[in-house]
Amino acid sequence: MRLNFKQWLENNAAPLSGPQDLPPIPAGCVRATNFTSPNTAQILLSGQPFKYGRGMITSSTDSFSNNDEVWELLTTGKTGPFDRNSFGNDVVLMDVPNMEYRQHANVASSTGTLDNSRVLGVFNRQTSMLTKNANYNPQKQIDQLQVRVPNRFQKGPTVPAPITPAGPTTNASSAGDDVW
């Protein structure tokens, strides 16, 4: 039997009552949030990538390293001096590996889209329900971004020795000068 979207939504939604109910932020990731409309939320839950347009992901999302800060934003709609309450009642939660987040936060290297596997789900502020994304896979994200670093027995890149100043150096205090 095939489920329609409404049935799937009911099966994958859970009420949240505090930061302890939010899924933990995976190690090496930042949790980004984006206030949006119900239509955009449904598009993301159906498997489409998150599109933040040209520029940096930081222009349309807020990012956090712990769930207490995320919960504060979800319940108050405010982060620092910024009020997000007018942007919609649905909040997209995304877990983005730090290295990838840096790429999206740089205007020269950002792509304008974030893969759907980064989308944890959508939190509805009116019902306090978190609907999880079926494509979310945080471990896959981190495995894809692992950088292979040679161990000490493998030949790695040559790093030049630090440059040291030529000639003798003097100690200012021994010359009688006061240095602050």
The per-residue pLDDT for range 17-30, each reduced to its tens digit, is: 889 999 999 998 99
Assess contact for 71 and 31: CB atoms under 8 A. Answer: no
The mean pLDDT of 40-52, rounded to a whole number, is 90
* 75: its two tokens: 């319940």
Whole-number pLDDT of residue 24: 93
The rounded distance, in Å, linking the Cα atoms of 88 and 161 is: 54
Q: Count structural domains, the chain.
A: 1
pLDDT at 62: 92
Is 8's pLDDT higher than 50?
A: no
Six-digit token string for 149: 């670093």
Q: What is the mean pLDDT of residues 89-107?
A: 91
- Radius of gyration over every alpha carbon of the chain, rounded to an integer in angstroms: 23
Could you tell me which residues are beta bridge partners of residue 92? 34, 122
Residue 35 has pLDDT above 90, yes or no: yes
Residue 171 lies in a domain: no
Domain assignment present for residue 160? The answer is no
Please indicate, yes or no, if residue 12 is contained in any of the structural domains: no
Rounded to an integer, what distance in angstroms lies between the CA atom of residue 68 and that of residue 78? 13
Residues facing 130 on adjacent strands: 14, 123
119 pLDDT higher than 50: yes
Please determine, for residue 124, whether its predicted confidence score (pLDDT) is greater than 90: yes
When pLDDT is averaged across residues 2-27 and rounded to a whole number, the result is 72
Residue 176 resides in a domain? no
- The Cβ-side half-sphere exposure at 38, using a 13 Å CA radius, reads 6
Q: 128 in a domain, yes or no?
A: yes
pLDDT of residue 174: 47
Res 1: pLDDT = 46
Q: Quick check: 150 pLDDT over 50?
A: no
Q: In the β-sheet with 90-97, what is the strand arrangement from edge to edge? A: 13-15, 129-132, 119-124, 90-97, 29-36, 62-64
Q: Which domain holds residue 94?
A: 26-145
Q: What's the pLDDT score for residue 118?
A: 92
Domain contains 11: no
Q: Is residue 39 part of a domain?
A: yes
Could you tell me the pLDDT band of residue 148, with boundaries at 50, 70 and 90? very low
173 occurs within a structural domain = no
| Average pLDDT across the chain, whole number | 78
**Side chain identity at 148, as an amino acid letter?**
R
